[in-house]
Amino acid sequence: MLDVPHPTTDEPGETSFDLRKEAEAAGITDTLQQLDQELIGLKPVKNGVRQIASLLLIERIRQRAGLASAPPTLHMSFTGNPGTGKTTVALRMAKILHGLGFVRRGQVISVTRDDLVGQYIGHTAPKTKEILKKAMGGVLFIDEAYYLHRPDNERDYGQESIEILLQVMENQREDLVVILAGYGERMTSFFASNPGFRSRIAHHIEFPDYAEAELLVIAELMLKERGYRFSAAAREAFEKYIELRRSQPFFSNARSIRNAVDRIRLRQADRLVSDLDRMLDVADLETIDPADVLASRVFSGGADARSANP
Amino acid sequence: MKLTQGCFSFLPELTDDQITKQVQYCLANGWAVNIEFTDDPHPRNTYWEMWGLPMFDLQDAAGVMMELAECRRVYGDRYIRVSGFDSSHGWESVRISFIVNRPPQEAEFELVRQEVGGRAIRYTTVRKPAAHAAQ
């Protein structure tokens, strides 16, 4: 309120609008482009985000034109398997909302059940309110939201937290946007047992699993960010790795790939250090050899799955 | 008699919008915003009771306004003030404090003079009993 011009303060009566200029001024074009470039795949998500951004942009212009406009409900739910980019997209979403002036500050507070629900009677309400206060003017991202509701325990304090959340989501829609995230099926049953949530959330976005080719591109992007690259043979080995890893338990998409990349770096460093008498050049330092990939336990029947390293 | 303590107290009562802006100013400066209430607004009573903890990690004034609404609901018949505490080195003190809620019937004070040795005068501010009690 102090520094962000709120859309309602604009005088009505303008009649023509340069849409491109409006979009650029709000920073949407940049953010969407960034979303396109930095996130591999995720077609339906990008479409969903683009639609919401368009709605918000038009809504803002309508306000300025003096047309009837109700403040849109912006609460969202992101469903999808682990590692499909829900948190990353939530951060981008906050940027878009902030650019358009639908949230005033644009900070993202990311919480889970532990941050909202207390451990004894009378502990939950202050805890939930504390988080809500921090999130005011921004986005509250509740990860694994279905844990809030424990159907097997009717005296669980989660229900208390849900009630406070619902009340604020309804009464202070202009002050904060709530994004619930979690794995598909469990979110469905969560919404089924909390119809209040379902009806207060306008946008449901589903995050699909990555295809193998997309995972490879992601891996290469991650390596590039860290200043490495695959040799041709290592690339092939990694394709094989993805294929095997996907069929093993606890596969969590991009997150598994990130862990794999980190372990590959470890093995590469180990391989280089094991031969101390050798002169290294830059190519040695940045190239991943097939040996670094093939040493993974994934190739020996998936011991990865049984270790504490999902 | 309108009680005048802290900032803005000679101005008309602040509206909620104005309070929001003041609070936002405090938060933008990184001050901890406190809500305090009391039924004893004597000028020498610096220790008002706190409504909850100081709010030092908020981004937006809406959170403070939420607490203020709650405090007004419970203690609407008392004085409530909002203060901003600056913890930065060299300041470490309250930078702003203003009243945001008054009881329907304001407290009244009067000056009592006491003559002591050598015709010196001692002054005391005492609270007058509430009007309905006096009648």
Q: DSSP secondary structure string, A55-95?
A: HHHHHHHHHHHT---PPPP--EEEEE-TTSSHHHHHHHHHH
pLDDT digits (tens, 9 = 90+) for A246-298: 888 888 888 899 999 999 999 999 998 988 888 888 888 888 989 888 888 88
Report the pLDDT value the prediction gives residue B11, as an integer from 0 to 100: 94
Cβ neighbours for A182, distance < 8 A, ≥ 6 positions apart? A77, A78, A79, A143, A144, A145, A146, A190
Asked if the model's pLDDT at residue A201 lies above 70, the reply is yes
Nearest beta carbon to residue A107 from set B20, B59, B67: B59
Asked if the model's pLDDT at residue A8 lies above 70, the reply is no
A1–B67 CB contact, under 8 Å = no
Beta strand residue intervals within chain B, DSSP E: 32-38, 49-50, 79-86, 93-101, 109-116, 120-127
- Comparing A153 with A236, which gets the higher pLDDT? A236
A105–B21 CB contact, under 8 Å = no
B20 touches chain A (CB under 8 A): yes
Q: Angle CA(B57)–CA(A143)–CA(A106) in degrees, nearest 5?
A: 45
A136–B60 CB contact, under 8 Å = yes
Query: HSE on the CB side for A116, CA within 13 Å?
Result: 27
pLDDT band at A13 (very low <50, low <70, confident <90, very high): low
The two tokens of residue A249 are 């338990």
Distance from CA of B7 to the nearest CA of A (A): 19
Separate counts of helices (H) and strands (E) for chain A:
15, 7
Residues A288 and A268: beta-carbon distance below 8 Å: yes
Nearest beta carbon to residue A136 from set B17, B28, B62: B62
The two tokens of residue A76 are 């969202």
Least confident of A61-75, A138-152, B60-74: A61-75
ipTM for the complex shown:
0.79
Alpha helices in chain B (DSSP H): 16-28, 61-75, 131-134
Average pLDDT over every residue of A103-107:
88
Q: Is the dihedral of CA A80, A81, A86, A88 positive or negative?
A: negative
Q: What does the alpha-carbon distance between residue B36 and residue B49 come to, in Å, rounded to a whole number?
A: 5
pLDDT band at A31 (very low <50, low <70, confident <90, very high): confident
* Highest mean pLDDT, choosing among A34-38, A142-146, A279-283, A296-300: A142-146
Distance from CA of A7 to the nearest CA of B (A): 16
Q: What does the alpha-carbon distance between residue B42 and residue A143 come to, in Å, rounded to a whole number?
A: 49
pLDDT digits (tens, 9 = 90+) for B6-46: 999 999 999 999 999 999 999 999 999 999 999 999 999 98
Chain A residues whose beta carbon lies within 8 Å of the beta carbon of residue B64:
133
Nearest beta carbon to residue B62 from set A3, A129, A175: A175
Q: What does the alpha-carbon distance between residue A245 and residue A28 come to, in Å, rounded to a whole number?
A: 37
Angle between helices A212-225 and A232-247 (to 10 degrees): 130
Asked if the model's pLDDT at residue A306 lies above 70, the reply is no
Q: What does the alpha-carbon distance between residue A217 and residue A257 come to, in Å, rounded to a whole number?
A: 10
Distance from CA of A106 to the nearest CA of B (A): 9
Mean pLDDT, rounded, of chain A: 85
pTM above 0.90, yes or no: no
DSSP A5: P
pLDDT band at A309 (very low <50, low <70, confident <90, very high): very low
pLDDT band at A70 (very low <50, low <70, confident <90, very high): confident
Strand order in the sheet with A76-80: A108-111, A139-142, A177-182, A76-80, A203-207
Distance from CA of A174 to the nearest CA of B (A): 10
Report the pLDDT value the prediction gives residue A302, as an integer from 0 to 100: 61
Report the pLDDT value the prediction gives residue B117, as an integer from 0 to 100: 93
Residue of B nearest to A126 (CA): B52
B52–A175 CB contact, under 8 Å = no
Q: What does the alpha-carbon distance between residue A303 and residue A300 come to, in Å, rounded to a whole number?
A: 7
Give the whole-number percent of chain B exceeding pLDDT 90. 86
* Residues paired with residue A10 on neighbouring β-strands, in sequence order: none
pLDDT band at A116 (very low <50, low <70, confident <90, very high): very high
